[in-house]
A and B are shown apart, each in its own frame.
Chain A
């Protein structure tokens, strides 16, 4: 991947060091609301190393969701650069971004975002479908991922036949199945009761222990406390960045 970026000397000089999975450099995101321009992000820069467990915190309206969309390659910044796993992704086209999302990012959403009419297994298969994995291998890996989240016996259930916690575990399995560079969890416990929420956080902790990089977006302190590092966002800027453990 790195060799593709190397063609430009400017980009080369800013290339993140090995072991850095995310590097953002002066990220701006401006929404044009007719008369006024709203700056959702005003120059956000940070690095996240491989294997880190980071919480991005901030009150609503802080720009936290915008940042998450950029990190998740769902959107592109107005200005600034973003490297993900050694590749400059801030200037890619829609379809290239889709490819990056598929390969590098495992999403876990607050509202689970499972396909209601598909079985747990098929939901987990989806990322593999979009990178053209052959059916046999796809099934094997989706089943494996469901076993990792301890849902090996619920594979053929549809989301409405599963509890909230189980649904979120399906979503975690789906995030895992493509072996992404980062797992991006956006308020993963927001729709769960505290006991089930703790169960999901436990699962994320275990994934971190086995080597995954986890980025957690939340506004709850006790959830953020699971992470080893907290990046605080306020008014579109990083207002604190501290290691907890």
Chain B
């Protein structure tokens, strides 16, 4: 009995300490642990309940990853005109069909004299080059081997700095080649593979449309874009190209600026020079195109914008379905645990405590669904990246987790308020 009274005394002494009536932190933490415990005891039910949220999160993150991956891919493989390079050409790229049809009627091709004009009048650029192409693509031949659909390009020597083709060995077209219209060529890796698997291509002569051209250099491998090889090309000096293929080709003029700020200044200058040259009144539209990497990116982003809008609609539907399933299971859970709620209320749990407990449970459940969705999306993204392009941005993961948790919070409120409203006596009387 002595031990008993002593313990009793300790109990009184301890509880005599002053303290705040309640702390949200303590009850919230309790609610969090109850939530984890409940999910642990009902694993299967939790998994089935979470299907909607998992699918929604997965869809959202996978689409965001693929769009992001494609963005990187496009920036890398397609919109890669080179650093601070823009191109003056007959048409503006990536415009609507109507605008293009109109442009086709009134735009004039860019000619060599335009290039010479810009070269004489434009100031401060880093590099200026011109290229011309031919359509349909001709075949190249070497000792009985034929390679069809070769991209034949006439280029100025200055393109060595501007274009994406880099010299692997040999050299690029020189100004001397240009001056003399030398019958030389700079070739891509596909021609090496096809014609010169075991021999040094330098100095060999390949035939295009029956005319011989001596190989002076080989480009580094570029790779493929959407499965299309980017290494099937032959570069000739622009003068050689003119002499042998097109007397007066339409060309593209590439302008390289020193930095991004200067690029927009130069774009404006080129625009003004060309408008003056074409005698355009100030209200008239340009009858030429000035294109940079962001033109292509702009087109692509308009496209992904609509894909993304559809995704958001689909994800919203999944999330609402997932939320309703969570709400349903939480209502069942409240009914199932009425007695527990009665016990907690009899011990001093307020409405807010019970509300917190069930809202927390729904939110934790949905957050687990979000996390599962992130994992699943990560796996899918890895697989997709194998065949295609996919890169999961951190923002997608955050959006997925926050969105799913918010759905749990929102759809948990109604069942939780039902639980909080229960009468303690009724609840205690309910047996389960």
Contact = CB atoms under 8 A, between A and B. Distances in A.
A binds B: yes
Interface of A: 69, 72, 74-75, 94-95, 98-99, 101-103, 107, 109, 113-115, 117, 126-127, 129-135, 137, 140-141, 144-145, 147-148, 174, 176-179, 206-207, 210-211
B21 A72 contact: no
Given A140-B14, A176-B11, A206-B4, A98 B21 contact: no
Given A98-B345, A141-B11, 9 more contacts: A98-B351, A99-B350, A130-B348, A132-B24, A132-B26, A132-B27, A147-B7, A148-B8, A206-B4
B340 A115 contact: yes
Interface in B15-64: 15-17, 19-27, 30, 37, 41
Nearest to B19: A133
Contact of A107 (B339, B346, B352): B346
Contact of A132 (B15, B17, B21, B347): B21
Nearest to B25: A132
A86 to B, nearest CB: 17
A107 to B, nearest CB: 6
29 contacts: A72-B346, A95-B352, A101-B347, A102-B347, A107-B347, A117-B37, A127-B347, A129-B27, A130-B27, A131-B19, A132-B19, A132-B21, A132-B23, A132-B25, A134-B23, A135-B26, A137-B14, A141-B11, A141-B15, A144-B11, A145-B11, A147-B7, A148-B11, A176-B11, A177-B11, A179-B15, A179-B16, A206-B4, A210-B4
B324 interface: no
A179 B14 CA distance: 10
Contact of A133 (B4, B24, B26, B349): B26
Interface of B: 1, 4-5, 7-8, 10-12, 14-17, 19-27, 30, 37, 41, 339-340, 342-353, 424-425, 428
A195 B186 CA distance: 105
Nearest to B4: A206
A123 to B, nearest CB: 9
A130 B28 CA distance: 10
Contacts of A107: 346-347
